[in-house]
């Protein structure tokens, strides 16, 4: 990848993973086709942890979730996160010459991905074209569409065949 | 790029050009960062020629453009096409080890790009994130947004810094 108009010897390729088959295919594809070119390349796994639910208010009219419900939701989110990272690790096992970094941040996937790509100095962002759930996509628009317009580096969208 | 899940030795990279600075930057970027890796790679330049204007009807109530006006528009489109190809050739001059193919087809840029990518067996489509005019974009949506969802190969969007 290039820095300041010059092709660089080392690529830092950020891959956004969310547990969807699409994102895991994108990770595998970029490892085989982009990252495997040089042992100096680094893959930066990005995972956006969903933001915490709204906490109970002392004012009962503002009650939303009990402590117990929040603990259950947090446990569920933690399990999802572990499952995503496990899936990614399985794919990475076949490419043990490639350097791996992980970045997990809490918040809306669109903001987390664009901010982190910038912070880690990625030369390229790779994403699946879908993921992050049908309902959320319908409400907020596709995460990949957002990142294409807002990430500061080139964005590669890989679809499942 | 890969065929049937195996990383291929040769990449056929289609780059959509439209004369915008964005698309020329995307061409230069992909030559330096993707195509220069191997002399076996091929860049396929895609240019969508605007569809012909609506022709005059024998019924005067259906009159839209005179023959003269149509000739002027066709000449203008031809000049634009030549200017785009010239710009692209200038950028390609610095990479004379890379094989070049050109595909020019008439029609809406979105259809032309997606169809041609499929027909030439491109492993990757590279586009600038904008181009094709502000008004057209506002009316039809971004060409790149469309191609991301409809092209059959991975799509790389390169923005100007």
- What local confidence, expressed as pLDDT, does residue A137 receive? 58
| Superfamily designation of domain A9-158 | HUPs (3.40.50.620)
Domain ranges for chain A: 9-158
Q: CA nearest B156 in A: which residue?
A: A156
Distance (Å, whole) CA B159 – CA A152: 8
- What local confidence, expressed as pLDDT, does residue A10 receive? 86
Inter-chain contact B157–A154, Cβ cutoff 8 Å?
Answer: yes
Inter-chain contact A149–B129, Cβ cutoff 8 Å?
Answer: yes
Q: What number of C-beta contacts closer than 8 Å exist between A and B?
A: 49
DSSP state of A19: S
Q: CA nearest B146 in A: which residue?
A: A145
- What local confidence, expressed as pLDDT, does residue A154 receive? 96
Contact criterion met (CB below 8 Å) for B88 and B27: yes
Q: CA nearest A129 in B: which residue?
A: B149
- What local confidence, expressed as pLDDT, does residue A132 receive? 54
* Number of C-beta neighbours around residue B17 at 10 A: 24
Q: CA nearest B32 in A: which residue?
A: A7
- What local confidence, expressed as pLDDT, does residue A39 receive? 81
Mean pLDDT of successive 10-residue stretches along chain A, which has 161 residues: 60 93 94 87 94 62 73 88 93 90 94 96 92 58 85 93 79
- What local confidence, expressed as pLDDT, does residue B161 receive? 79
Tokens of A158: 């890989």
Inter-chain contact B32–A7, Cβ cutoff 8 Å?
Answer: yes
| Among the partner residues B32, B36, B154, nearest to A29 by beta-carbon distance | B154
Nearest-CA distance from B94 to chain A in Å? 13
- What local confidence, expressed as pLDDT, does residue B29 receive? 95
- What local confidence, expressed as pLDDT, does residue B66 receive? 80
- What local confidence, expressed as pLDDT, does residue B65 receive? 74
* Number of C-beta neighbours around residue A11 at 10 A: 21
Distance (Å, whole) CA B91 – CA B95: 8
- What local confidence, expressed as pLDDT, does residue B129 receive? 82
ipTM (interface predicted TM): 0.83
- What local confidence, expressed as pLDDT, does residue B84 receive? 93
- What local confidence, expressed as pLDDT, does residue A5 receive? 56
- What local confidence, expressed as pLDDT, does residue B122 receive? 96
- What local confidence, expressed as pLDDT, does residue B70 receive? 82
Angle of CA points B104, B108, B111, to nearest 5°: 80
Tokens of A97: 């010459």
Contact criterion met (CB below 8 Å) for A98 and A37: no
Architecture in CATH for domain B10-51+64-158: 3-Layer(aba) Sandwich (3.40)
- What local confidence, expressed as pLDDT, does residue B59 receive? 54
Q: What is the pLDDT along chain B (161 residues), one digit of tens a residue?
A: 555 555 557 899 999 999 888 999 999 999 999 998 788 899 999 999 988 766 555 555 556 678 888 888 888 889 999 999 999 999 999 888 899 999 999 999 999 999 999 999 999 999 998 755 566 556 556 888 889 889 999 999 998 87
- What local confidence, expressed as pLDDT, does residue A145 receive? 85
Inter-chain contact A2–B159, Cβ cutoff 8 Å?
Answer: no
- What local confidence, expressed as pLDDT, does residue A151 receive? 94
Residues 6+ apart with CB under 8 A from B1: A33, B7, B8, B10, B11, B12, B13, B123, B124
Q: Read off the pLDDT of residues A102-125 as tens digits, 9 standing for 90 and up.
A: 999 999 999 999 999 999 999 999
């Amino acid at each position: 990848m290039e820095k300041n108009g010059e092709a660089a010897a080392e690529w830092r390729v950020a891959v956004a993973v969310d547990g969807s088959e699409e994102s895991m295919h994108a990770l595998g594809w970029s490892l085989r086709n982009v990252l495997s070119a040089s042992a100096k390349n680094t893959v930066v796994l990005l995972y956006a942890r969903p933001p915490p639910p709204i906490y109970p208010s002392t004012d009962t009219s503002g009650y939303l979730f009990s402590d117990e419900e929040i603990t259950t939701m947090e446990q569920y989110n933690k399990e999802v996160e572990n499952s995503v990272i496990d899936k990614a690790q399985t794919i990475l096992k076949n490419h043990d010459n490639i350097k791996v970094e992980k970045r997990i941040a809490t918040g809306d996937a669109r903001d987390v991905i664009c901010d982190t790509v910038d912070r880690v100095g990625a030369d390229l962002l790779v994403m699946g074209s879908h993921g992050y759930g049908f309902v959320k996509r319908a409400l907020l628009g596709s995460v990949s569409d957002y990142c294409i317009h807002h990430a500061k580096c080139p964005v590669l969208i890989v679809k499942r065949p």
